[in-house]
A and B are shown apart, each in its own frame.
Chain A
């Protein structure tokens, strides 16, 4: 939002328009442009004219910016925060997993807990290794590309990514391997 303001000002300066220099059709953003005007009111900074009533219809600041609002005691806030962190930790038993790609010179590491599902994971893998994964289907695995994403589960078996529900995968995945070529095709053919 702030960046946008600054960009607008720059554009304005270079714009050709009729009128005396220094005049503008649009209202100039206030000097305290970094803070939205409502912030000052909320944080109770004093203004000599006592102008507290004229709250602009600008969007109010996010609640986190208003001190002491909503009126919740700190121990309760802390408890909620801990819960949130706790919940995030509970979704995966392992967070960082090694990712190998057949033919790549070195391995990578990925944090599985930041993904909410297979689609996000596969997009990230494609992005990381610059390749395309084919279409997944339960019957045929990944069709339409040379690659098949696989993972080693808790039992040490190599499984095709995508067969089990995401949560189950995230809990049991120990490492990822993107198989390529005949091995991959072999995998998909068997299914």
Chain B
């Protein structure tokens, strides 16, 4: 068009748009904007690897430099998705190997990554810089050796929480002596010992190293010499933090920490021995992120450490912190934005040992005015506490509460916790993520459907009384993208009544609910762009299942790629006319 800006100008303007949503909106304005965005899009986020084919992504965005792909459903984290389900990244890597020679970054979450994938990455992308494998599996340290040996421009290697076939620590030695560009290394999930001298040499020759997360096998007496080589570190994950107290080791460690003027994040501390904790005191005033969720350290040492960090924004800790520790946090850590409290003994029947109750969370909600994100495991909760929290912190955006015993009522009144969670959704108008627990009736879903208009992800377990609950959520939550449900009495009616809604969402997971086989087929017929996958691990053959058969697990997601072709035999796609489709 004669009056529009030249392409280069538009492209430049678009480069200031960082969110995918904004860029997607831009691409809908007109054909030329679509084309400009298409050719200039450098980052792509694929929330579900089966929603679209690699070819389709490459066709639309030919010049991508950074890709993030997610595979398995979230409940795979809790062993609800059987092995072999899928989430293979290989087809993506092979497609990109030929079409994205300049690819720099690959971020994967819950995907199966093989050594062959890693080798292909190492060979195909000359300017490869960032590899983040979050909760992935399927590869061994041999695959890491390929990456280390071949990726000359690698900046970041982050294996967070992945399950690696740990053959040996030798892979680290494959970084050539000429390699100096490491910025971030996270090997905390690995079990075996890496060669310490190789690690030390690597750290000393990489002047841009900002983030180093060691694994448990690195002993405490070795950390000091590593830290001296990298005083510019911003993030540090220690290895095992225990040993008999030796004054020389302590002073060396203490001295090394005091040189870390840029340090903002600390984690690791496996098996931490309180005697060595004061070695980190010198950095506490600058610390914004503290992950003590692997440490067995208890009060008073635990609370003492946390209270020394006035600038703390993110705290991950075990319930050893107790209510008194959280009160101290509320008093000292006024800038706290995210709190995660994990259970130290989740299967312990005897509940009376841990002094962490709802009171700790209430204290933090009172004292920390910037608190936005909460993940809290506890053993008792009350509506009163939840209402307090909601009123104190209307700025909450993520609220995940796990009361360990399923269907626990308000421990004071023995009532369901509907009113408490209702207060949360009513007051916290910006709430994007919510996980429910405790005794809940359909009423809580009425509150959620009515108030949680910005809610994007909802996790429900052992809750509700009838289909109405599910219906209220699906019909009321306008922004809902991901819904995961287990062990709730939700069934066909709600699902079929809200079929169209499902195509506006990324995915729906339902396990141990009351959805019938027949309803799944019906849903699939009505909504051709939904993949309806039934997971059934019983040995019965598909044909013999009656329509009324209650499915074990159900995963529904929108897709423009049609039913996937890599399903194992226990996953049935409802996408064909005949139900007897296997694999």
B512 contacts A44, C-beta separation under 8 Å: yes
Instruction: Give bound CA distance, A47 to B512, whole Å.
Output: 11
Q: Which residues of A contact B342 (CB under 8 A)?
A: 72, 76
Q: Which residues of B contact A86 (CB under 8 A)?
A: 271, 296
B550 contacts A50, C-beta separation under 8 Å: yes
Q: Which residues of B contact A44 (CB under 8 A)?
A: 487, 511-512, 552-553
B487 contacts A63, C-beta separation under 8 Å: no
A72 contacts B346, C-beta separation under 8 Å: yes
Least CB distance, B126 to chain A, in whole angstroms? 33
Q: Which of these, B80, B270, B377, contacts A67 with CB under 8 Å?
A: B80
Q: Which residues of B contact A74 (CB under 8 A)?
A: 77, 79, 163
A46 contacts B405, C-beta separation under 8 Å: no
Q: Which residues of A contact B461 (CB under 8 A)?
A: 69, 71
B465 within 8 A of A: yes
10 further contact pairs, Cβ within 8 A, besides A44-B487, A53-B465, A77-B346: A42-B512, A63-B404, A68-B78, A69-B78, A71-B461, A72-B346, A72-B377, A74-B79, A79-B270, A83-B271
B346 contacts A63, C-beta separation under 8 Å: yes
B550 contacts A46, C-beta separation under 8 Å: yes
A66 within 8 A of B: yes
B294 within 8 A of A: yes
Query: From residue 71 to 117 of chain A, which have CB atoms closer than 8 A to chain B?
Result: 71-77, 79-80, 83, 86-87
Type the 1/0 row for B460-496, where 1 means its CB is closer than 8 Å to any CB of A: 0100010000000000000000000011010100000
A154 within 8 A of B: no
A60 within 8 A of B: yes
Q: Which of these, B79, B343, B405, B486, contacts A60 with CB under 8 Å?
A: B405
Question: Considering residues B296, B407, B549, which has the most beta carbons from chain A within 10 angstroms of its beta carbon?
Answer: B296
Q: Which residues of A contact B296 (CB under 8 A)?
A: 83, 86-87
Q: Which residues of A contact B271 (CB under 8 A)?
A: 83, 86
Q: Which residues of B contact A66 (CB under 8 A)?
A: 406
B78 contacts A72, C-beta separation under 8 Å: yes
Query: From residue 518 to 564 of chain B, which have CB atoms closer than 8 A to chain A?
Result: 548-553
B163 contacts A50, C-beta separation under 8 Å: no
Given A42-B512, A76-B342, the answer on whether A52 and B406 have CB atoms closer than 8 Å is no
Instruction: Give bound CA distance, A44 to B534, whole Å.
Output: 14
Chain B, residue nearest A75 (CB): B161
B79 contacts A76, C-beta separation under 8 Å: no
B550 contacts A47, C-beta separation under 8 Å: yes
Least CB distance, B408 to chain A, in whole angstroms? 10
Least CB distance, B276 to chain A, in whole angstroms? 15
Q: Which of these, A62, A64, A70, A87, contacts B343 with CB under 8 Å?
A: A70
A166 within 8 A of B: no
A43 within 8 A of B: yes
Instruction: Give bound CA distance, A73 to B79, whole Å.
Output: 8
Chain A, residue nearest B74 (CB): A71
